Homo-oligomer: A and B are copies of this chain.
Amino acid sequence: MADTALQILALNAFNPMASAQLSRDVAELVTRRQRSFGQASVLFYEEPLHVVAGIGTELITIDGTPYLDLYNNVPSVGHCHPRVVSAVRAQVGRLNIHSRYLFDVVHDYAEQLLATFPAPLTNVLFTCTGSESNDLALRLARLVTGGLGVVVTKTAYHGNTTAVTEVSPSSYKKGAPPAHVRTVPPPHRAYYGDDIAGGFARAVGAAITAMANDGIRFAALLVDSIFSSDGVFADPPGFLAEAAALVRAKGGLLIADEVQPGFGRTGAGHWGFARHGVVPDIVTMGKPMGNGMPIGGVVTRPDLLADFAESFGYFNTFGGNPVASAAALAVLNVIKDEDLIGNANRVGNHMMASLRDLSARHPAIGEVRGAGLYVGVDIVNRGTGRPDPAETTRLINRLRERHILIGAAGPFGATLKIRPPLCLSVGEVDRFIDALDDSAAA
C-alpha cells in the first residue's frame, strides 16, 4: 500500500483549480463531496474525473470518454471482469453471512489460495482490508516474539489503523513514528552502493541494535517486497534474503506485505517475496484480492497462530464472507485461466524496455525500475538530475489530457507509479509510451 505520497500530491494538484473553471457537473459533485467529507475529501487531478463505468483496463467518464487506467491496482484482473461480476451476482442473492456457520465457498477459496504458498505457510485468516491484515500481522508478531519494535523503510505505507499508521512513515504530515518504529533507506544503490543485499541487511541490523540500546525488543521487519511507496525498488531479485536471515537470527519475524505486489503483479509467481527466494513468517494481502470487493488476508504458520490463539481469538464479521470469497475465488481462477502472471511478465518487460528507450531520449525521464506490471519511473530535473515533483505533477496532468491515468510515489512524489490491470496489452503500453513521449517533450 503506497498511496500517501500521491494523496499529498493529489491535494496539491487539486487545490489550484478554482471551481469556476471546472465543468458544472464536476463542480457540483466536488461541492457536495466537500460538504459531506469535510477535510477528509481527497481527489485526484486538477480537474477531477467523474467516472461512471469501468471495463477491463479502462474507466469511462460521464461524457463517454474512456481513460486507460495505469494507476489502480485494485481491479487487478480488469474492471468489472465478467467472471468476478457473475460470481458476486450469484452469491449475493443466495447467502451472505459471517464465517461461524459453515458454508462452502470460503473453504474452496482458502484451499486454492493456500496452494499458492510455500510450506510452512498453511493457515489463513480473512480480513476485509490490507490495513486490517497488516494490523493483525503486527498483533501476531508482537505477541509471538514478545517484542514491540518494527523496522520499515523510510517512506513506507502499510495502512491506516492506529498501529499500522505508526509503521507508515509516509503518513505523517507532522511529527514522526514512535521510538519502537525504526526506518531504513529503501534498497537502492544510492544508499547502499552495489551491495544492496548486504547494505540493506546491515541497515536493518543497525536499526535492531539501536532499538535494543533503547530497551525496545525487536518484533519484525515489515516490508512490501516491491517497496512501492518508497519509489518501487525490485532489483536485484534475492536482495531481501540476507536481511531475512538476519531478522531470524535476531529473534524477529519477517512480515511480507503483499497488498501491492501480490496476486501475480510482479510477473513471477503469485507473490513478490518469491522473487527473493525467502519464505516470510507472515504474509498480508488486500487490494487486488477480490478485484474491488473488500477482502484481505493473513497467511502464516500454524505454530504462530496457535501461540496467538492462547491469548486472543480473532473474528472478523465480514472477513471471508460468501460474497467476498466468491469474488476472490473468481479472481484466482481468472489469473490462472488468462495467464495473467505470464502477461504481467511479458507486457511489463515490454513496458520497461520502452520506458528505458524514452529515458535515453528525454532528460526528464530518469531511472526505470520494477517487476512485471509494477513499474516506477523517476522524473528528474533536466539540469540538476534531482527528483522533480513539479514536472511529475505536470506529466500526470498531461497524461490525463491524453486519457491515461497514472500516479506517483517516492519521498518527493517524483516517481511515476505504474500498476495497471494485469490484462494490459502491448498495444496499450505503446499508446502510453507515445503519450508520455509527447508529454515529456511538450
Please determine whether B51 and A101 come into contact, CB atoms closer than 8 angstroms. yes
Which A116-147 residues have C-beta < 8 A from chain B? 122-125, 128-132, 135-136, 138-139
Please determine whether B93 and A85 come into contact, CB atoms closer than 8 angstroms. yes
Q: Say which residue of B94, B110, B162 sits within 8 Å of A161 (CB atoms).
A: B162
Kindly specify which of A167-175, A200-208, A272-280 makes contact with the partner chain. A167-175
Q: How many residues of chain A get a CB closer than 8 Å to chain B's CBs?
A: 99
Shortest distance from the beta carbon of A90 to any chain B beta carbon, whole Å: 9
Shortest distance from the beta carbon of A246 to any chain B beta carbon, whole Å: 25
Oligomeric state, in copies = 2
Contacts of A33 in B (CB 8 A): 102, 107
* A371 touches B (CB below 8 Å): no
Contacts of A7 in B (CB 8 A): 313, 315
* A192 touches B (CB below 8 Å): no
Rounded to whole angstroms, the CA-CA distance of A111 and B33 in the bound complex is 9
Rounded to whole angstroms, the CA-CA distance of A1 and B174 in the bound complex is 33
Instruction: Give A94's nearest chain B residue, CB to CB.
Output: B53
Interface residue SS majority, chain A:
mixed
Q: Say which residue of B36, B43, B51, B310 sits within 8 Å of A95 (CB atoms).
A: B51
Given A125-B40, A173-B312, A294-B318, decide whether A74 and B98 contact each other with a Cβ distance below 8 A.
Answer: yes
* A351 touches B (CB below 8 Å): no
Rounded to whole angstroms, the CA-CA distance of A33 and B124 in the bound complex is 10
Contacts of A129 in B (CB 8 A): 128-129, 132, 316-318
Given A132-B132, A139-B162, A161-B161, decide whether A292 and B96 contact each other with a Cβ distance below 8 A.
Answer: yes
* A151 touches B (CB below 8 Å): no
Rounded to whole angstroms, the CA-CA distance of A75 and B318 in the bound complex is 11
Please determine whether A97 and B59 come into contact, CB atoms closer than 8 angstroms. yes
0/1 string, A11-53, CB within 8 A of B gives 1: 1000000000000001001101101111110111000111111
Please determine whether A110 and B36 come into contact, CB atoms closer than 8 angstroms. yes
Instruction: Give A313's nearest chain B residue, CB to CB.
Output: B7
Instruction: Give A311's nearest chain B residue, CB to CB.
Output: B174
